[in-house]
Amino acid sequence: MRQGSVAVIGAGAAGLAAARELLREGHKVTVLEQNSRLGGVWVFDERVEKDDLLGQNSKRGKVHSSMYRHLRTNLPRELMGFSDFPFIPELLGSRSVDARRFCSHTEVLNYLEAFADYFKVKDCIRFNNTVLNVRQLFTSTDRTGTSNNIMPWQRWVVTSECEGSDIGVTESHMITEEYDAVVICNGHNSEPSLPDIKGMDMFTGFQMHSHNYRDPEQFKGQVVLVVGAANSGEDISREVASVASQVHVCARSWKQLGLSEAELIAPYGPRRNIHRHPDPIEITQEGNVVFSDGSHLDGELHTIIYCTGFQYKFPFLFEREELSHSSGLQHATEALTIGHSSPYPVVTVKEQRVDPLWLHIFPPSSAPGMSFLGLTRKTVPFPQLELQAKLVARALSGRIMLPRPEVMKEEIMAFYEQLKEDNVPTKYTHMQVGQAQWDYNNKLAALCGEDVPETPSWRMKMAEATGLIKTRHAESYRDVPNLGAESENVCMLQEARTELELIAKTLSVRDFKSDSCKT
């Protein structure tokens, strides 16, 4: 097998999964993490981007985490964990800081710490290292060689800024290194995305993106507009409603709730002070809001919180959105001199599509030397990250062979055509809803080899059951016993427990909650 040096950018769940699988394949792994601890988005940070609470200034003082203080998971822990490391502390001979099925972010962070400790991933992490630039360096024009290197005709030059705490130096300094491959795991929940609403820039009240939301206390007694009703919008609106006078929540559609017209217009929440509206189309300077159905909210609006998602950003890559990927691929592969880096981007980002990526992972011109993990949305993330990481690690070692670049490109274009036929907007390219994620996961498993099984049926059933109780018990689904009263759910939970107990018996973990992550 081929073994090479691999840089992993980011030590969140994706980076940890990548490092674990790369180590299993015998690669030399360096994980570059900009913060002082692992966990990525699961690290709660009191700080906010106070100089730009909407997160639109690229030069703002950035805070990576979007975690709010009282967040609980929206997936049950049995479903959420990696396939071979159960997210149930007592099965691993330890105890939990939050034993609830839908637990706090602190519990998830402890789980990731334990995962990194057990699989010795921590030894590979350089903390306080911010990656500034990644360049593709072509060292040969011959792609037919038999070298044991991963891709003998190219390497990757990675420049990072190190604060120095890991190597006994107090001053920040730059480090430039060459690697055989780069795995990008920098997450997609840190760069706010805002809607384009007429007049929003004229509103004189307080505005912020959910990225900078931490707790509800500052909104006591206020009238608050929450734009967006996905997971964060639902959670934040309920938190804010516990102290605010009135909360008005906007969404493109409320049909998925299956409510009658009377139920849709009725206030809800423990204090009956949350109101549903369609999308806003105009906000006046005085705080009046006009909605897409012609209705309006007049008067004393104090605050707008935008729970409108995030953008894909790779600030360390050379991106030029106006360049088509086809011309970029042609020039990158044909117009380079030996020893020079490509002046063209490996990928571009436009309308929330990272293009071109085969299976949301590999840019055809650079596979498997460059890969991206964790770009899909609306999925059960950790098990999917594990499968993506296995595919990348095994492709780099040569245990599996990827299709030729031209085949990858053909499949990407066919995927785009299918999205177009299905009337799926470009911005939903990386979204996987319902059966789509299981089909994708099973395809990854098949590509990885016979030793990687398909998704167990109980995981799919548990995800479906979770979706149902979210709809039926929106305010309390996290505390509904057995994911609902249905007998099939009880059987499914028992099946999950039995499998996870068997997996736990193969592990020698005795201290799930490591000293380094105590809070």
Query: pLDDT per residue over 153-190, tens digit each?
Result: 689 999 999 986 544 556 788 999 999 999 999 999 99
- Same domain membership, residue 320 and residue 184: yes
- Same domain membership, residue 427 and residue 390: yes
460: in domain? no
Question: In angstroms, what is the C-alpha Rg of the chain?
Answer: 24
pLDDT tens, position by position, 235-259: 999 999 999 999 999 998 887 777 7
240: in domain? yes
* Residue 169 pLDDT: 55
Confidence band, pLDDT 50/70/90 cuts, at residue 330:
very low
CB 215 within 8 A of CB 239: yes
518: in domain? no
- Same domain membership, residue 134 and residue 56: yes
Note down the domain range covering 440. Answer: 5-190+311-448
How far are the Cα atoms of 23, 42, 51, 59, 65 from residue 48, in angstroms, in the given order?
35, 15, 9, 14, 9
CB 491 within 8 A of CB 68: no
- Same domain membership, residue 163 and residue 38: yes
Please enumerate in sequence order all residues whose Cβ is within 8 A of that of 118, keeping only pairs 6 or more positions apart, or say none: 85, 507, 509
pLDDT surpasses 50 at 516: no
**129: domain CATH number?**
3.50.50.60
- Same domain membership, residue 301 and residue 342: no
- Same domain membership, residue 347 and residue 278: no
Stretch 2-28: mean pLDDT, rounded?
98
pTM recorded for the entire structure = 0.91
The string of DSSP codes covering 406-457 is HHHHHHHHHHHHHHHHTT--GGGTTB--THHHHHHHHHHHHHH-TTSPPPPH
Sheet order of strands, 154-162 included: 129-138, 154-162, 173-179
Q: Scan for tokens 């790779």, then name that residue.
A: 314
- Same domain membership, residue 217 and residue 366: no
* Residue 48 pLDDT: 95
- Same domain membership, residue 274 and residue 208: yes
Q: What percent of the chain has pLDDT over 70?
A: 88
Work out how many domains the chain is built from and give that number. Answer: 2
- Same domain membership, residue 288 and residue 326: no
Last residue in a domain, options 431, 448, 465: 448
Last residue in a domain, options 308, 334, 361: 308
- Same domain membership, residue 199 and residue 218: yes
Last residue in a domain, options 250, 275, 308: 308
How far are the Cα atoms of 42, 177, 195, 412 from residue 306, in angstroms, in the given order?
20, 40, 8, 32
